[in-house]
Amino acid sequence: MKKLYLDYAATTPLCEEAFEAMRVCFADNFGNANSQHSFGREAAKTVAEARATVARVLNAEPNEIYFTSCGTESDNWALKGAALARGDAKGRIIVSATEHPAVYHSAEQLRNAGFDVCELPVDGDGLVHAEELEKAITPDTFLVSVMYANNETGAVQPVKRLAEIAHAHGALFHTDAVQAAGALPLDVKALGADMMSLSAHKFYGPKGVGALYVRNGVNLVPLIAGGEQERAKRGGTTDTPAIAGMAAALKRAYDNLDAENARVASVRDAFVAYVESNVQGAVLNGPKDPELRLPNNADFRFGGIDGEALLFALDLAGICASGGSACSSGSKEPSRTLLAMGLSPSEAKGSVRFTFGRHTDVADALYAAEQVANAVKRLRALQ
């Protein structure tokens, strides 16, 4: 049976470039990057090169890039580090209603600690409107955190505009770019981001490594207190192989960004066109405008079909997709993001996310779409 992986938003396979960069570290370049001897210096050189590569893609300075253990840590650090730097639990933090759990659970913890946390609503496509931020922002707002692209619908937020509003009111702007990285430009200066979270495993790098861009001048208290690593801002022995793998994967993704985006968008569009014309009641969740949606994302609901039953049927047919996001799988609750967009709980539970990638082509997309049509037909026959 043909097996198709259509869950690239959950994670991606390691690319050759990342694998090779990591192999060298595992095989020979195993020193502790903080050791003073030649083994340490060799590892430190690899880390410095990786930092410079990431900085180049972000149009940042190398000393503005901090390596972390994942996107979740980067998000936690951005929010809690900025809050801890205040000295007291006063002031407002604004987040959108569709943030990843790494942001909204961090915001919730800060609310429990006494901060005033405000959630921005989204429209039916999952987009934040600048006017909503204008209404919510107060003189004591010190941080606005809105994701660059959503992990369920692929909705691309107007981060540049939101950052301008945050700055006009004296607040910092953080963006979770975990889903955007590898698909959208990450120029922090053009976007106006003071902090930006990344995670390597979403762009064909290894799992368990991320980065946080922190603009020089932003005061962030360390989340992982420890030694002198990462300029004494993030303790823990440096994971040289993971960092080298992350940088190699990011470079590969941005060396070929436009061509791969166009290719994967045509794969996704073939899937969407087939499903829309062959599956009765299929509705695409999120923005229809390709400029406002990640090129690899198709998130559908199928009137009256239970998403879990459909995923199960698809898995049996060799199609690996996802209900909402991998981070909330196992949860019986409907997706917070889809509810915030105005979907009913049953519509939200009936939604399935298909995300395409480097190893899917148009023939795969059409095959998968046919399997979706068959599975929906079979499930409807059972109703």
- Name the residues annotated as catalytic: 327
- Report the site for ligand PLP in 119-158 (rule: CB under 6 A): 147, 151
Least Å distance, CB 292 to ligand PLP, is 16
Binding footprint of ligand PLP, residue count (CB under 6 A) = 15
Nearest Cα residue to 206 out of 50, 31, 49: 50
Residue number, 17 or 176, with CB nearest to ligand PLP: 176
Residue number, 239 or 270, with CB nearest to ligand PLP: 239
The yes or no reply on residue 91 touching ligand PLP (CB under 6 A) is no
- Report the site for ligand PLP in 92-111 (rule: CB under 6 A): 100, 102
Could you say which of 12, 72, 106, 296 contacts ligand PLP (CB under 6 A)?
A: 72
Site string for ligand PLP, 51-70 (x = CB under 6 A): -------------------x
Residue number, 71 or 192, with CB nearest to ligand PLP: 71
Q: What is the separation of C-alpha 382 from the centre of its chain, rounded to a whole number of angstroms?
A: 37
- Report the site for ligand PLP in 294-323 (rule: CB under 6 A): none
Residue number, 100 or 169, with CB nearest to ligand PLP: 100
The yes or no reply on residue 199 touching ligand PLP (CB under 6 A) is yes
**What Å distances lie between residue 327 and 71, 152, 241, 323, CA to CA?**
12, 10, 25, 10
- The rounded distance, in Å, linking the Cα atoms of 326 and 318 is 18
Nearest Cα residue to 100 out of 121, 75, 118: 75
Handedness of CA 345, 346, 347, 352 (dihedral sign): positive
b/e string for 147-173 if b means 16 or more Cβ within 10 A? bbbbbbbbbbbbbeebbebbeebebbb
Helix 240-255 with 16-27: angle, nearest 10 deg: 160
Let me know how long the chain is.
383
The yes or no reply on residue 263 touching ligand PLP (CB under 6 A) is no
DSSP assignments along 271-283, one per residue: HHHHHHHHSTTEE
Q: Decide: 312 and 125 in contact? Cβ < 8 Å.
A: no
| DSSP character at residue 328 | G
- Report the site for ligand PLP in 356-375 (rule: CB under 6 A): none
Least Å distance, CB 198 to ligand PLP, is 9
Residue number, 204 or 367, with CB nearest to ligand PLP: 204
- Report the site for ligand PLP in 151-180 (rule: CB under 6 A): 151, 176, 178-179
Residues found near ligand PLP in the complex (CB under 6 A): 70-72, 75, 100, 102, 147, 151, 176, 178-179, 199, 210, 325, 327
